[in-house]
Amino acid sequence: MKIIKLGILIILAGFLTACNDSSHGSEEERTSITLANWSQPIVEQTNLLVEEEKGFFEKEGIDLTLIPGNGGQDALKTMLSGHADIAFTDPGAVYSALAQGEDLVIIYTVYPQNVFNVVTNESSSISTINDLKGKRIGIYSRASGTYQNLLVLLHEAGLSEKDVNLIETGIANFAPLLQGEVDAAAATDTALIPAEREGLTDAHVFEVRDYLNIPSDFFVVTRSTFEENKETLQAFVEAYEESAVWMMENPDAAAQLASDYAIDGREQKLNKAIIELRNAASLDENGELGVMDMDIIQKGADAYYELGLISEQLEMGDYIENIKEQ
């Protein structure tokens, strides 16, 4: 698998691009798929990063290229510009693009569980969501999922952005919490692990999923890509699920390989903790992979509209296709 940076190397993405594979001593046509990722190569995505060694996609006849990104909107932009075939992106970015007139199809729920949270110190006396009123809350940025999911959390408690003081702190937003510069921090489950090691003790965690369990990430394509390449998309999803199952069944091996492939794979014990969290987020309440929960995805779109994050009401049934059943 190739991992490339857009802007350094021009990608001519396309499902019908064939390549000759002589790695096994014979020529075999494979289909090239370029995946626009929302992040840099990080531990929680080890199952994708080890493709060169494990060959999950190669076994399905796919030559996978991964383009690192800086957020779900960045991943969508890369795909819509024609530099990738599939976007690995978040619901907020998808809702926004659809409301602006893009014709997209969600083909797979990567993480059915919402992984976002809001964290406070036990000593802060904040014991309920309503206690956040008037408090300083750190977010990565207003373009991040931390901001969007915080608004969802506040909305479920009858609060809005006007009721709190938002402070953009960047991705290291637990440092301001530890230093007393904010009263709470909006982050993700995997970000909480290193923060606890750095001195965040007796943390009180409000999980967004306990209020509205919107999925964290999808695989998304354009309508034309979906209509023209269903079999290839099926093969992609099958390969991805094989890689996900491998990481679930082999967390220790994945944690060890993460040290070689992930930019944040500093320590195997920490890697394993992150991997186990993401393994759990990959399964729905019935322990299944990739389930497309129409009702919850629609509730998410409705919440984003009510919050003013998107300007149009969306009928999400028009944009969801379970590629596994095609």
pLDDT digit string (tens) for the chain, length 326 residues: 767 654 433 333 455 455 544 343 334 678 999 999 999 999 999 999 999 999 999 999 999 999 999 888 899 999 999 999 999 999 999 999 999 999 999 999 999 999 999 999 777 788 899 999 999 999 988 878 889 899 999 998 899 999 999 999 876 668 888 888 999 999 989 888 878 777 787 778 999 999 999 999 999 999 999 999 999 999 999 999 999 999 999 999 999 999 999 999 989 999 999 999 999 999 999 999 999 999 999 999 999 999 899 999 999 999 999 988 77
- Indicate if the alpha-carbon torsion angle 60, 62, 66, 67 is positive or negative: negative
Q: For residues 248 and 119, what is the distance between their CA atoms, to the nearest angstrom?
A: 27
* Distance, C-alpha 174 to centroid of its chain: 20
**CA 49/CA 54 separation, integer angstroms:** 9
Residue 129 near residue 159, CB atoms below 8 Å: yes
Residue (of 229, 146, 230) closest to 188 by Cα position: 146
pLDDT of residue 20: 47
pLDDT value at residue 304: 93
DSSP H or E stretch at residue 188: strand 184-188
- For tokens 């320590």, name the residue: 267
Helix, strand or coil for residue 55?
Answer: coil
Q: Name 39's Cβ contacts closer than 8 Å, sequence gap at least 6.
A: 45, 68, 69, 70, 71
Contact 36, 71 (CB under 8 A): no
| pLDDT on residue 123 | 72
Residue 3 phi, psi dihedral angles, 5° rounding: -115, 120
At 22 the pLDDT is 39
- Separation between Cα atoms, residue 151 and residue 159, nearest integer Å: 8
pLDDT of residue 109: 97
The answer to whether the CB of 127 falls within 8 A of the CB of 172 is: no
Query: Is residue 174 within a helix (H) or strand (E), and if so which, with residue range?
Result: helix 174-178
CA distance 36 to 69: 7
Res 202: pLDDT: 76
The pLDDT assigned to 173 comes to: 63
Radius of gyration of the chain, Cα coordinates, nearest whole angstrom: 20
Residue 177's alpha-carbon distances to 14, 96, 142, 158, in angstroms, are 45, 30, 18, 24
Domains detected in the chain: 2-113+215-325 (3.40.190.10), 116-210 (3.40.190.10)
Rounded Cα–Cα distance for residues 199 and 141 (Å): 23
Q: Say what the pLDDT of residue 11 is.
A: 39
